[in-house]
Structure 1
Amino acid sequence: MRNLIFVLLFLLSYVVSAQTITGKTSTNGDALPYVNVYLKGTQKGAVSNDNGVFNFKNVTPGKYTIIASFTGYQTQKRNIIVSQSKDITINFNLPESELLDEVVVTGTLKAVSRLDSPVPVEVYSTAFLKKNPTPNIFEALQNVNGVRPQINCNVCNTGDIHINGLEGPYTLVLIDGMPIVSGLSTVYGLSGIPNSLIEQIEIVKGPASSLYGSEAVGGLINIITKLPENAPRFFADTYGTGWGELNLDLGFNTRVGKKANLLFGVNYFNYNNPIDNNGDNFTDLTLQNRISVFQKWNFKRKENRVLSIAGRLFYEDRWGGEMQWNSSFRGGDEIYGESIYTKRGEILGKYQLPIKEKVMFQFSYNDHDQNSVYGDVEYLARQKIGFGQFTWDKPLKNHDLLFGAAVRYNYYNDNTPATVTADEVVIPSLFAQDEIKLSEKQTLLLGARYDYDERHGSIFTPRIAYKFKPTENDVFRINAGTGFRVVNIFTEEHAALTGARDVIIAEELKPERSFNVNVNYLKKMYTKSGMIIGLDASIWYTHFSNLITPDYDTNATQIIYDNLDGTAVTKGVSLNIDAVIASGVKLLIGGTIQDVSQTENGVKARQILTERFTGTWAASYKNYKYNVTLDYTGNVYGPMRLPLLGELDPRSEYSPIWSIQNIQLTYDGIDNLEIYGGVKNLLNWTPNKGNPFVIARANDPFDREVTFDAEGNAQATPNNPYALTFDPSYVYAPNQGIRAFLGLRYAFK
């Protein structure tokens, strides 16, 4: 009996001494819901509710570190002492992510701190996008180190994204982790997503095929949209430029019933002001009329299980060409114009199965319909991509396992000779990943993927990653892996569509394979003067086999595709420096030096349209007294080898060093309102400088006055002394010169 009383008294004292921790999570004074708050080293934790309030009970007295984390915001830590005498109230105000504290999901398909991820991931927040407002993500990436939007045509301004010097088809673009953009639709899929809806952009450089499959050879870009409950109640962002461009983002989030939140956004862009500053009678900038509608639904479920569905509808009418062109000339051979009608639909979602284990089903589908004419050449194309994936996240002691099964459906058809019948294939896949905690400071990641393509058979892509974290602010990482790409040749090869060149497929094409090694070092430093400095340095080497690249050099009238009989290598080094200075100055400076080449028959050649070096910067100064922010952004590119049409072509074989620079002032002294304006392309740089012309034979776009020999080669004549044909593919920089812009940004939270 005495022992029982002793036990009861002990339990009673435990209950009395155990305390409750309560508090609120917010950002910029507004409640921030669904923040993870937990005590480090314990099982105690909670998720803040819709009002940002959290609490957890029965905390025994002692010293703890309490942590609050949420995707896109800085993780915060506090040291606390829980006593027997009173409960604790502690509040967290989480600013948007800065430096290296961001939560990332792209590298391993799991949400982890960027410092803890074994795979290097770069993160860019909405604050970064605001420093140089653009009408689409494609243009916004121009200030990301090692990433370059490449315009492939002077007339229609379509393009793709280069990562570390590799062409656009090697870059996989995701929305909320799902492959939604590829091949034909790269430039269109990156247009029309309202920047106000974006939480952050994550970029992985180097092969990621072991998790994401084909196309993730050079790297991937993951556009993560906001959770509906964290977006403003209503937002509007509009600006116009001196060239007559108008961009408008509108949207809202609302609760639908008791268990659903809706995020709705519309992007509208219009440019209808033909300008010909370089005097070639062709539009310097493609005219565009575009609308995109986006919505995302989040549903509340028991035990915080995930259910979200998002969709987007996109329509665009764009044209470029001779200044006197109008739609009545579409498809004819009287006045040259390139007109593209694009219709596109996308849907994607996530569903966590209602079982004890953490099993997630994700899916995406997009349908891209394109009706194009390039002069009198018609290009009609349809692309459909469906994707479904199950993942099982299974943490064990010292192991964090991930298993997955996926299936991808590809459909592509066009009206060109390169696609005699529709290309339709289903590719099933299996993948596994194990993140092994070797010690408190060392982590090993092992992963592998198996894909089966009926056209090429089995494809196996392993990878390995090692992370060493000697301190809280230093991380060394080594990643090695393989990548593969199943090539779809004719995805809008503009030089062929204009009639300037014929497409020649010299042999049966095999899948491209690559092997990559990447060494990365991250460091975060705090100075006595209050500065915070982040360093992100990488060295990489990628070796390709079976590489397929278009050969423009062998015959000026042809594009020859075959598997490379030799080797192709891309190697380089990059450095990002991110600094926050106590006086209100923020700096982001990046530089990349790279060598992208291929060797065939003992001859080494640089890849066309690939720079030797690049630099980017974004400098911001905030004057808190006057509520004014100054942003100065820009990039600089080294020489690139350019696609000439023959030995007599008078244009430069290499581009000069060139730079695009921008400046912006923002005033935010009015509640919920920002007024911003500035100047883009301060140096007024355009590619016609130093060249006699940019578009070859702009005076004869249908080649009526060109004389050809028996093999189809253009001959030099008095009215064609350089033996050229019409060709708008000599392009390495935008033709759009200096212009002013002014905008308003409103957000009601």
Structure 2
Amino acid sequence: MNYLNPSLLATLLLSSPIALAKSTAQNTLEHIEVQGVQARLQSRGVLKDSIAKTELIDAKQLKNMQASNLTEAIDKALGIRVSNECSMCGAKRVMINGMKGEHTNVLIDGVPMHTMLSGFYGMDSVATAGIGTIEIARGAGASLTAPEAIGGTVNLVSQKPNKNAAELEMATGNQGYRKVSMVAMGVSEDERSTISAIAQQDTRDQFDGDNNGVSESPMLDNQSIAITLSHDLSLDTSVKIRYGRSISEVFGGPVLGDTTSSIAETLASVNRGEAASLFSDNTVDGRYTGHPWETAEWVDTQREEWLFSILHSINDELTLDISYANVEHIQDSFYESIDYWAKDDMQFVTAKLYYALNDQHLITIGMDHRDEQMRSHSAALADNPLYMSDSFDYTVSGLYIQETYTPSIDFELALAVRFDRITADFIANRANDDEIDETLVSPRIDMRWFHHENWTSRLSVGQGYRAPLSFFESDHGILDAEKGYLVDVHDVERSIGYNYSLNHSANKINATLSIAYTQVDNLASLSHNEAGTPVLGQLTEQADVWAWDLAVNYQLLEQLQLGASIENYRYNGVFKSSFGIAPTEKRASVNLEFAQANWTVNANYLFVPSRDLSDYGYEGFNDTQAQQAKKTDVSSYGILDFKVSYALSDDIKLYVGMNNALDCSQAADEESPLLFDSEGGYDVTFIYAPLRGRLAYLGFDYDF
């Protein structure tokens, strides 16, 4: 189904927001602003925790990056790396503070809205249209309502309507790049009600850098709609309702229009059996000669989410904040002849009470409950005795309290503790009771200290936890119809993290040094039993990672701002053994923003030095005879992105730009991410550099 049909576009742009419009010609009386409860509490600092270090990406920056989805928006953000986990299905993992993708929790307006399953194929489908700010908080327990965020949280803050307006953006480029997004906002005449509606579709074709008939980056087609309503019932009570729906289709492997005619033809080709060989000359560099299904990975995702919240100021000291979220995530997929269908349904409710004891003490008391059920099945594996469905039931009930102490304008301290009751049951494992049944206590400390007018320190220490429940977190273990896969998880992952940052801010310069250390017990990892069956299990030794980064921004001229950053991550051997794809350990970047009259230029260059992949267990061959070993000492690379915009008028902006302008591509410049193991088995995970080459685009942005 295509949500973005002409009638829907017309509805989004012409319906509710326009119905709420107020003619400016009639607005001749003096405007007196009466702040609602949310604005008052934000001005008092109750609703926003500014003590912990938080990186912000605003709507302007999202446009400057030409970011269509969440992974593109945060890929080059400081302290974050987006790891491409598969050259066929394009699974993306958002890594914070050097932790793995499953240790990141994605929030919408402060509420956890992503399930265990959506962390793999959900990040590329999160549209940027309508996002006002992305807040990135690092460290275990970075959010009181997201204790499972061992690495940190990414909070998508919706753009708040403050006037009647609409925006249309359209862009096109090579590689089948297309983007259409619409945002419409309305404010009622009495300013008590607001509505916003967004719709976005963005597409990309497959990318085959070595032209052998097998893609290294898949086709991607995302479609999203969302509607948000808010209303001030009174000066003390505000309610909000948000509904979102998205679909995403991913297809990688045989190139459409080359080695296969369609996705349907590819899936049906299973009936042909196995081809004599996959590639000419039996090397991954040769022309693909196998049947389409033998390298095909197809993932269709449908997602629906509801969010209800109410904010009520009881009196000057007490404020109540209640939210309820329901998310349904359905995945229908095909992995080289193995089908996998899963439905993940999550319900989350939280209630927080803010008590302003006096000017120095703010107490937050809250409770939340998460109930998640995932059901999966595979027809291809149903009769395999080595196959165990990864269906699970997962519940968490939590209670927390936080005391925020502000003895002076120069110092703030927040002390928090959570109590959680956790149960998790892989329901297909009939031989066991609940695999996880624990009660945890997780403390956290945040401190901010203004040493001087220009110097600020932040320190955070906290514990976190996570239940490793999804097999996809570790590998595509379901790809082997003969070996199947098993789950052997019995404990939560338990972490403690330390984060310190020092910021210097003066008239023209802003610099921040950040240092983080995280250690994790019971880290999930993939292993194989004596029969060779993949097993999702846990490490018995402690894993840890050090991370540090330095970012500097300098206003060289009124029209020109320069920036630079450097990042470094150091893992111990235990942590390294858990990765399926080697993470980037070092990188540096320089960027500039130039604005003069109607022109704006943005550019960013990211550099990753050479490295040794053998530390992460990389090994493989380009040929089935295991004679041509793939190299593990890989070269450095750089990625240059730029965008030039011209304001044709106050309402219309034209732009042109390039992502990866230097055309850096692993398959074209280095070697294919495809490999054979020592037994001639085929895989797609020898990934260490960009898999998609130069993307040139042009478009326009029309505000009305």
Same fold, judged at TM 0.5 (above): yes
Alignment match, 1:206: 139
The separation in 2 between residues aligned to 1:577 and 1:127, in whole angstroms, is 19
Alignment match, 2:594: 621
- 1:237 matched to 2:177? The reply is no
- 1:475 matched to 2:456? The reply is yes
CA contact (8 A) 1:597 1:605 kept: no
> Offset at 1:418?
6.3
- 1:269 matched to 2:238? The reply is no
Q: For 1:486-635, what aligned pairs fall within 5 Å after superposition?
A: 486-491=467-472, 495-499=476-480, 507-526=488-507, 532-551=508-527, 559-599=534-574, 608-624=581-597, 627-635=598-606
Alignment match, 2:398: 429
The separation in 2 between residues aligned to 1:503 and 1:513, in whole angstroms, is 29
The separation in 1 between residues aligned to 2:479 and 2:690, in whole angstroms, is 19
**Partner AA of 2:589 in structure 1:** T
> Offset at 1:233?
0.9
> Offset at 1:570?
0.6
Give secondary structure in 2 for the equivalent of 1:732. coil
Q: Flag structure 1 segments of 5+ consecutive residues without an equivalent.
A: 1-48, 57-68, 72-102, 527-531, 698-713, 715-721
Give secondary structure in 2 for the equivalent of 1:211. coil
CA contact (8 A) 1:596 1:610 kept: no
CA contact (8 A) 1:145 1:615 kept: no
- 1:111 matched to 2:48? The reply is yes
> Offset at 1:228?
2.7
The structure, 1 or 2, with the larger RCO (C-alpha pairs under 8 Å, 6+ apart) is 2
Q: Deviations over 1:658-709 (max 9, x none)?
A: 2221111100141211111022212211112564532125xxxxxxxxxxxx
Alignment match, 1:74: none
Give the counterpart of 2:328 among 361, 367, 374. Answer: 367
The separation in 1 between residues aligned to 2:143 and 2:158, in whole angstroms, is 24
- 1:408 matched to 2:370? The reply is yes
- 1:447 matched to 2:409? The reply is no
Give secondary structure in 2 for the equivalent of 1:330. helix
Alignment match, 2:14: none
> Offset at 1:515?
1.0
The separation in 2 between residues aligned to 1:440 and 1:406, in whole angstroms, is 32
The separation in 1 between residues aligned to 2:28 and 2:368, in whole angstroms, is 34
Alignment match, 1:260: 193
The separation in 2 between residues aligned to 1:590 and 1:104, in whole angstroms, is 32
> Offset at 1:644?
3.4
- 1:339 matched to 2:298? The reply is yes
Q: Deviations over 1:126-180 (max 9, x none)?
A: 1211222032111221221221111111112121111122111000011111111
**Partner AA of 1:328 in structure 2:** E
The separation in 1 between residues aligned to 2:165 and 2:483, in whole angstroms, is 53
The separation in 2 between residues aligned to 1:671 and 1:203, in whole angstroms, is 32
**CA spacing shift, 1:572–1:290, aligned 2, 3 Å:** closer
**Partner AA of 2:548 in structure 1:** V
What TM-score comes out, normalization by structure 2 length?
A: 0.81
Alignment match, 1:730: 686
CA contact (8 A) 2:216 2:667 kept: no
The separation in 2 between residues aligned to 1:227 and 1:542, in whole angstroms, is 35
Give secondary structure in 1 for the equivalent of 2:471. coil
CA contact (8 A) 1:278 1:688 kept: yes
Percent identical among aligned pairs is 19
Q: What is the RMSD of the two structures over their aligned residues, measured on CA atoms? A: 3.1
CA contact (8 A) 1:500 1:726 kept: no
Give the counterpart of 2:618 among 644, 663, 670. Answer: 644
Alignment match, 2:91: 158
Structure possessing the higher radius of gyration over alpha carbons: 1
The separation in 1 between residues aligned to 2:578 and 2:220, in whole angstroms, is 37
Q: Deviations over 1:306-330 (max 9, x none)?
A: 2111111111222122122321231
> Offset at 1:501?
9.7
What TM-score comes out, normalization by structure 1 length?
A: 0.76
CA contact (8 A) 1:264 1:296 kept: yes
**CA spacing shift, 1:725–1:516, aligned 2, 3 Å:** same
The separation in 2 between residues aligned to 1:474 and 1:205, in whole angstroms, is 20
> Offset at 1:428?
1.0
Alignment match, 1:76: none
The separation in 2 between residues aligned to 1:50 and 1:172, in whole angstroms, is 47
Alignment match, 2:55: 122
**CA spacing shift, 1:502–1:443, aligned 2, 3 Å:** farther
The separation in 2 between residues aligned to 1:549 and 1:421, in whole angstroms, is 15
> Offset at 1:459?
1.1
For structure 1, which segment, 326-335 or 394-403, has the greater mean C-alpha deviation from structure 2 after superposition?
326-335
Q: For 1:166-245, what aligned pairs fall within 5 Å after superposition?
A: 166-208=99-141, 211-229=144-162, 233-245=165-177
**CA spacing shift, 1:585–1:136, aligned 2, 3 Å:** same
**CA spacing shift, 1:148–1:182, aligned 2, 3 Å:** farther
**Partner AA of 1:596 in structure 2:** Y
The separation in 2 between residues aligned to 1:740 and 1:664, in whole angstroms, is 10
> Offset at 1:256?
6.1
